[in-house]
Structure formats: structure tokens, C-alpha cells
Structure 1
């Protein structure tokens, strides 16, 4: 229920449910607090979210995981408290990963902080050098701040390094044998039969929709 409220941005309802849990003696766990922090983040409940994070550690002795830190950074970042969000990352027990730096970078874009955005982006490039998405975000931050030289430099760097998104793929397992299919790839030895069946399925789908 708490997660459901969080998904739909109903932060106060999620908090009310949490207070009912405490009144009835239901002990929250790390997943409960993760959902509560997410609810606060999407509802702009900064004070409540920070209090919950502190409550999780001091009252319930739950050690925060990277997901909890990421929610807290997202919560602070969305409200424009970017310096505090950075302090959370630098002071956390767990090792920062791409998710948490990505949350900070997204907030830097929202609030047009190109200096901190550039710092977060460098951390992301070290962790995920082949992820073009972060470089696009950084380029947009520079453009929003009218730092055209940095914008052009970032875009040229993207082309020079020939950064590419990893293609989508799927895997099908039949009788213990696995076949991997990559988007746009036609190297499978039975590619002819595969596309023939796909075409048949597509036609059947069209016909059933027309009925």
C-alpha cells in the first residue's frame, strides 16, 4: 500500500499509513522506508523524508543501502538543495554508484547547475564510460546555462569517442538451449523461419484487431 501511494505521488497518504503501522505495532523494514522515501521525493516532502531517513537509522537501526541514499539525494535534488545532496553522497557509508550520481545529475539539469552537473557527470563517466545518455544530459545542462563552448565540446567528444547505446536484446530458452537475439541482427542460422513466423503472428494480430 505504501509503495502504491508512492507510485501515484500520494506522499501524505503513504505517511499516514506509516503512522498507522506504528500505532498497531507493525515494525517497518528497509523496503518500507525505501517506499516512504520515494513517496516523499515524488511529493516534495523534504522535511518528512529527511526525518524518515534519520528515523530509519536511529530508531529502527536499519543500515541504509544505496537505494535509500539515492532516494534521499533525489528528494533533496528535486527541491533544489543540491549542495546537501552532494554532502549525502560524499558522506555515505556505501560506495556511490551510477544511479546516485545520475539522480544528482538529473537534478542539476532541472535547476541549471552546470558546475555541479559537470562534476557529477565526470563521476558517471568514470563509472559508465559507454553510457551516452549522461553525456547528452550534460550537454543539455551546458546549453541551458548558455555555455555554448562547453556544449559544443561535449557533443564533439561524444562523436569522437563514437559512444553508442548498447543494442536491445532478448533471450529464449528451449529444451535447455538458449538463443540470444539482438535488435536488427540477422545472423541467426534460422533467421528466415523466425521472420516468417513473426510475419504470420503479425498478420494474425492485425486480423483479430479488425474483427
Structure 2
């Protein structure tokens, strides 16, 4: 597994895009809707194989019969985290061996579901309660299939991922978990009082931090 994308979980897409506009000085392009999840997103390319996503519940879409991904069904918790300044809440790692990975770690990562956006389809692991694995300290896992990561086809606005860090009360334990999952390229881990994700994004106007 390796890092695929970072995820801002927003109370609404408008709030998420406005926050990134202020934080990065960039207008993040619209991505699309996910009919299986009742969500929609905007996407920012951060390199050839990595990107940033801001995602929210799509109020125009019917609610799915199963839990949404990224804990988005718990609107109160999403709002509380957002208002507390914890907005970069999740990250996604890609794998080409999703089934054996979930056979070994399904209790943490969930089970594979087929998801789509426009003409693109992929498989994504979702926990039965829709919650983030290890409250965001562990990755959500995706298998893009033959088409691979879409980052290279996104508009290039000059943004690049310079660093991605997770603060955690026990970084050694988290490092062991990441190793057990087979993560080959992931975040830097640091000691902190609580789980907190931070990223430095290089932009045409200089490096900016989001968290």
C-alpha cells in the first residue's frame, strides 16, 4: 500500500471549498458525485499519483441504505471536528491486493464496496459503522482497478504535497500498525496529545499548511 490521497471531511461542500480557497489560495475544481454514497467532492492534484479531496454529503442525493464512508452520517461529529479546526481528518492508501488485505484486517478497515464517480468505478473498504479506521490514524483503503489513480488526469494548478504528518499519543504503536498493514509509503509519525493530521502543500504562492 502507498498514500493515494488526503481527505478534508466538510459539513458542506461549499464550506470545504471556501476553506481551501482561503488556506491554499486556489480554486479547487469540482470532482463529481458518488451515487452509492450520497456524497460529492472537489479534487486537487498534488502530484502524479497523489491528490487532495474535500468531501461532503450531497443534499440533493438520496441517502444510501448503508452507512456512508468517512463517518459522514454523523453530521454533529463532522460539524464539531470542523469547528474545532480538525478538517484534514482522513487519508486513503491504494492497494492492488485489497481482498487479502481485508481478509487479514477487515475488523479495522471494513469490507470492500463498489463505488463510482462519473464513468470511473473502483472498490473501497468501508467499516460497518462508516467510521474512520483508528479515528483517522489508519488509512481507508482503495483499489482503483486497471485505470489506476486519477491524479495525473486532474488539472495541474501547481500544488504539490511537501509533507504529510500524523500526530499520535503512541507513534511507535501506530508505526507497527502501519507496518502490519504493509504500508510502504505513508505519513511521518510524531508524538502528540491526540490524533491530528497535518499536510504542507506547496502552492504557486508558497507552502501552506492544512490540518
Q: Which TM-score band (shorter chain)?
A: under 0.3
Structure 2 length as normaliser, TM-score?
0.26
Relative contact order, CA 8 A, sep 6+: which one is greater?
Answer: 2
Name the one with the larger helix percent.
Answer: 1
Higher strand share: 2
| TM-score of the two chains, using structure 1 as the length reference | 0.26
Highest Rg: 1 or 2? Answer: 1
